[in-house]
A and B are shown apart, each in its own frame.
Chain A
């Protein structure tokens, strides 16, 4: 994996608002190989969606400052004009958003919405576009695609709408698909269907996927690497197995411990992270997680930790008082 599809370096997205400057993404660096699935997890407000939108070049241009570098297939996204981005959207990178209903135009037949990209981007004529759209609808598993081509979004269920959104995103065979909470709000059985679909499409079309979610269950079996974000920064990054079984950062551990598990007997007491994620406009000087961390030392409150390497290659974490290297899921220092 020498050729990196996406290289993000020291990316910062800062909002200027009436209530102060908000560093929504505060210096994030990572890369992504071809045909790789990367998971980004974090709670609301951790900056994962802003990060995705910045990589897409979708941020508004006023009251916002983006610095750093996003190289997508060798092309710089930061500072690119909308005209340049339009060339890249759909053909290089596409995004699937959380709410399929707001991603689709409610008064436009779904076939037309898929056609649009094909005709504008690839210059297909109406007939070719229609044929390709039906092919895409078949590919994402929509039954009787020919008939559904003329359906309106309101005539479809939530799961079917998300399939249409995926078909639209894939219309011009992007190299990178960013899926932002693609299954939040869908039922568990539909959620598995959509995640399995994304997985098989990734293989079939040889693309890379960034899967953004707050749900650790979504990324556990479907990613090769995971980024854990907190307060706009990467606090831990590594191979999926390392993140789940050999995590070093205290926040990663707390996040894993606080989610209820089907395997545990009922009434298992949940480990709670006290407090709430910090206000980004008034971040503490030290580690952002320190005020909520049971293991914070004086240094944690004073000095911000930087990412340091763990034992396995590619595994990094930012913590002054990390968990022991051999820490496994069962054992705990609590």
Chain B
């Protein structure tokens, strides 16, 4: 289905290793995926699985150790300086903590205008018009709030301002790293709907990183599940949630708490905790917690294989699609 479209972002064998020698940690251990134009790819996993590091490596906030990142067919993996800064105008990132993302002593208008000022894309009346337009789009009245300081806003409003700032250069792609996890449910719904609206209006492509499975399903066209630095399953969101192929995905979905008193506890609680990425298990990284693991899982690392159209699973014994 998605194969006919052009990938806007192409990631191949991306690794990020922190530290050297025996003390090194592979936070991202060989991740490949495409993000197609106009789609939302969700990236889920538990803390420490490398999902945020992946997002940061794409923005080159942390340096990728190996692998390649192609944006719009241009390899940005080794770009530096002005070329890199230019690439970043096409790809922007929004972070988890909206309040610390904004300078508390600056006025909203100047925060949102900063990218325009930095690139000298607009000035004077044109600059004001763009800023007003962006603030209106995210639901912040520029007449009332434009001259207030960032510290005067709540978390939800700060996240709206962050989104307005990220859109100033009209990027093609937004990387959203846990953008709603610090917000209350009612505000979370507002921001999720806002992202959907802006995506449609600006024709944006999103990489949506989060740990909340319900949130990720709500916003994503496709979802990738990460475990200990690797993608263990990737596929269209509805298919992946209905017929997960990887045991880890199934446990993760089983652990998600439904707001329904009649929902039966699947009784499949995943025991233990993820092993340390210092010393990942041989073969399949999930085998130490997997009830179905065999000798083969320890000996041979499973690669992502297609189980249905666009649905790939990295498991020697994937669940058959129902």
Contact = CB atoms under 8 A, between A and B. Distances in A.
Given A188-B46, A196-B269, A276 B188 contact: no
Given A220-B261, A255-B185, A262 B221 contact: no
A258 B189 contact: yes
Interface in B240-279: 241, 251-253, 255-263, 265, 269-271, 273
Given A187-B46, A193-B269, A260-B218, A271 B238 contact: no
Contacts of B262: 241
A159 B273 contact: yes
Contacts of A244: 259-261
Interface string A200-225: 00000000000000111110110000
A254 B185 CA distance: 10
B218 to A, nearest CB: 4
Contacts of A128: none
B258 A192 contact: no
Interface in B172-230: 184-190, 192-193, 196, 211-215, 217-221
Of the four ranges (under 10, 10 to 19, 20 to 34, 35 or more), the interface on chain A belongs to 35 or more
B47 interface: yes
A240 B218 CA distance: 25
B218 A267 contact: yes
Contacts of B271: 193
Contact of A220 (B188, B189, B259): B259
Contact of A214 (B46, B185, B237, B255): B185
B259 A270 contact: no
B64 interface: no
Interface in A225-275: 240-241, 244-245, 254-256, 258-274
A43 interface: yes
B192 A187 contact: no
A191 interface: yes
Contact of B256 (A157, A196, A262, A274): A262
B156 interface: yes
A266 B260 contact: no
Interface in B136-190: 154, 156, 184-190
Contacts of B259: 216-217, 220, 244, 256, 259, 261
Contacts of A271: 189
Given A217-B257, A256-B259, A262 B213 contact: yes
Contact of B269 (A192, A255, A263): A192
Contact of B192 (A188, A254, A260, A265): A260
B189 A188 contact: no
A62 interface: no
Contact of B220 (A262, A266, A273): A266
A189 interface: yes
A217 B186 CA distance: 15
B105 to A, nearest CB: 21
A10 interface: no
A326 B196 CA distance: 34
A289 to B, nearest CB: 11
Contact of B215 (A214, A260, A277): A260
A276 B257 contact: no
Interface in A97-114: none
Contacts of B220: 266
A221 to B, nearest CB: 6
A241 B215 CA distance: 24
B241 A262 contact: yes
Given A188-B46, A193-B269, A43 B186 contact: yes
A260 B217 contact: yes
Interface in A251-309: 254-256, 258-274, 276-277
A122 interface: no
Contacts of A188: 46, 211, 213, 252, 255-257
Contacts of A263: 258, 260
Contacts of B217: 260, 262, 264, 266
A190 interface: yes
Contacts of A274: 190
Contact of A265 (B185, B187, B238, B251): B238
A276 B160 CA distance: 14
B197 to A, nearest CB: 10
Nearest to B276: A157
A154 interface: no
Contacts of A215: 185, 257
A262 B257 CA distance: 9
Contacts of B187: 276
A321 interface: no
A273 B186 contact: yes
B222 to A, nearest CB: 9
Closest 8 CB pairs of A and B: A217-B257, A216-B259, A260-B218, A258-B189, A187-B46, A270-B189, A273-B186, A43-B184
24 contacts: A43-B185, A43-B186, A188-B257, A190-B273, A192-B257, A193-B269, A193-B271, A196-B269, A214-B185, A215-B185, A221-B263, A241-B261, A258-B185, A258-B188, A260-B217, A260-B218, A262-B213, A262-B256, A266-B220, A266-B221, A267-B221, A270-B189, A273-B186, A277-B186
